[in-house]
Amino acid sequence: MQIDEGLMVFVSSEEFSDSPLVFWEYVTNNTKYRTIWIVFSEDTRNELERRGIACILVSNGAAVTNILQTAKYVIMDGRMPLLRQCVEGQVVVQTSAMYGFTSDLFMTDLKVMDAHRFHKYNSAYSNIFTASSYLGKANSVASYAYDARKVYVTGVPRCDAMHTEDGRALLLSQFPELAKYKKIIGFFPAAKDLLGLGPKISAGYESNIFNMDDFSQSELESFLEENGIAIVFKMHPFDEYRFRNKQFPFPAAIPKHCYVMHSKTFFGKTLYHILNAFDCLISDFSGIVYEYLLLNRPIIFIHNELHMLMKLEREFFIKDENVVFPGKKVLEFPELLAAIDESLRKPSAYLDERIYTRNIMHRYFDGENCERLLNLMETYDTDTPAENIDYEMYSHNLLKEVGNLASERDELLHVKGCLADERDDLLQVRDSLVVERRNLQHERDGLQQVNSNLLDERNGLLHDRDNLQHAKDNLLCERDGLMHERSVLIDDLSALKDINNAIQSSRSYRFTKKIVSITIPVGSCRRKFVGKIFHVLRKTANK
């Protein structure tokens, strides 16, 4: 059959979801490729047809085979190996996302998943596997026996949705009552049934969604009410199917201010479209936390079930739990409430750990993973044959090499821990200096206040001095006035003496009688009086 260069076929295990959906959105919005979805249920087909999206049921065997053999590109999510033979000129893409630090997750435990089946249907019949980082590439090869040459670090397409979508608006479209809350927290646990833990822990979920023995619904409701917080709970799709079909018990009562979200709540959107709506994330050991790291927001890890994972002999590439779990780790319910309070009040807590782990788990942070993948697909050389490799031996050797590198990293992390301790000591010294500086500032402020008071007192004294000087000037003026009056009185007294002498020497009785009869005035009339005296004297003398 001839390859249709303009046709892309999409298929995802959760039907119209995950990375294939996000990549399909990019393709339909930015290219002219024709697309068609392979779906598994009539409900999904009917809904896609209602939206005008081309699709076909997987049960239409001949038609599906024809599409898979003629499409230039086939995009899957890494869990749906539909191809049974290679088609010349075709590019098959597995948009897988190997997160977490667990090794030998599928390769050494065939009870969980047959690694040879993955090797046969995925590695042999696929051209491209996406990875978020070089550690993710190594994990893919070690755990799934993928051909390392086919794993490309392009970033995982579904992560782009966190950069392009308004998650808060999308969340409120289905849960409008969430608008009244100050903060919204997402709780997304790992797949327990996939790891064989479902039957062991399912009974715990019957009492509460956190599966905690010391859980108190009343305390949770009061805490959420007082702080204006809502929790949105979503089970992993693998477990959700079991709970939805009542194979596992579901909590009898959902606490107030808690909301349950299902995979079908946002048909046509993935969890990654709304992930940026949450101010904090709660999980256990789910890989979603490593994608949430791209938002650089607080993460809380509930570890009450981690011991069950360890019993399955799951090991970690990196031993430092602060790197594997970059956030607050809790075991008991009171610790969980305290961790929520701390994370929302101090979102910068564990910032260094989050950034460090993010840089290990992701090569790109720009939200352009779909563009990189499309460029890779369109330039991929399908004519270059791949040499035969013993993938199982290759993966075991790679796993061993990764383990050695992990040991070296652990040593470096130990050195980092020592440096962190030294940094803490320096920070403590700095804090002491800050306290001392604060005390000195208080003393300086006290001295400045004293100085200000002294200035006020000095200004008051200067004001008093000015008043006294003014009073002194007034007294001097009064003294000058009195001196002038004294001088005048002396002059008057001299004149009176002269008059008295004149009276004594006068022979005229009439003159004497007239003079004596004159009443001596005071004040400003003295000069007139004296003048009058002299006038009388002259007149008398003439007579």
CA-wise closest residue to 309 among 285, 335, 338, 337: 285
The token pair at 110 is: 């065939």
Strands 102-103, 315-316: pairing is antiparallel
**Tens-level pLDDT at each residue, the chain (543 residues):** 789 999 999 998 888 999 999 999 999 999 999 999 999 999 999 999 999 999 999 888 888 888 988 999 999 986 555 555 667 889 999 997 766 555 444 434 434 445 555 555 667 778 899 999 888 888 777 767 778 888 899 999 999 999 989 999 999 999 999 999 999 999 998 876 555 555 555 555 667 778 888 899 999 999 999 999 999 998 877 777 666 655 555 565 688 999 988 888 888 899 999 999 999 999 987 889 999 999 999 999 998 777 666 555 555 556 677 888 899 999 999 999 999 999 999 999 999 999 999 998 899 999 999 999 999 999 998 765 444 445 455 555 555 665 666 667 667 777 878 888 888 889 889 888 989 998 999 899 889 998 888 988 899 899 989 899 998 999 999 998 899 888 888 888 888 887 778 777 765 545 555 554 554 555 555 556 556 666 666 666 555
388-to-17, 22, 63, 123, 334 alpha-carbon distances in Å: 34, 33, 32, 12, 56
| Backbone torsions φ then ψ of 471, nearest 5 degrees | -65, -40
CA 62 to mean position of chain CA atoms: 51
> Are 480 and 509 a contacting pair, CB within 8 Å?
no
Please name the residues in contact with 267: beta carbons below 8 A apart, sequence gap of 6 or more. Answer: 16, 47
The string of DSSP codes covering 32-84 is: --EEEEEES-HHHHHHHHHTT--EEETT-HHHHHHHHHHEEEEEE-SS-----
CA-wise closest residue to 186 among 109, 249, 278, 97: 278
Helix (H) or strand (E) holding 151: strand 151-153
Question: What pTM does this model have?
Answer: 0.69
Chain position carrying tokens 């009061």: 222
Can you give 307-348 as a three-state secondary structure string?
HHHHHCCCEECCCCHHHHCCCEEECCHHHHHHHHHHHHHCCC
The number of beta carbons lying within 10 Å of the beta carbon of residue 415 is 10
> Are 128 and 376 a contacting pair, CB within 8 Å?
yes
CA-wise closest residue to 145 among 377, 385, 389, 387: 389
Q: On the CB side of 278, how many CA atoms lie within 13 Å of its CA?
A: 32
Distance between CA atoms of 331 and 145, rounded to whole angstroms?
Answer: 35
Among positive and negative, which fits the CA dihedral 502, 505, 506, 512? positive
Distance between CA atoms of 254 and 257, rounded to whole angstroms?
Answer: 9
Tell me how long the chain is. 543
The token pair at 193 is: 């049934």
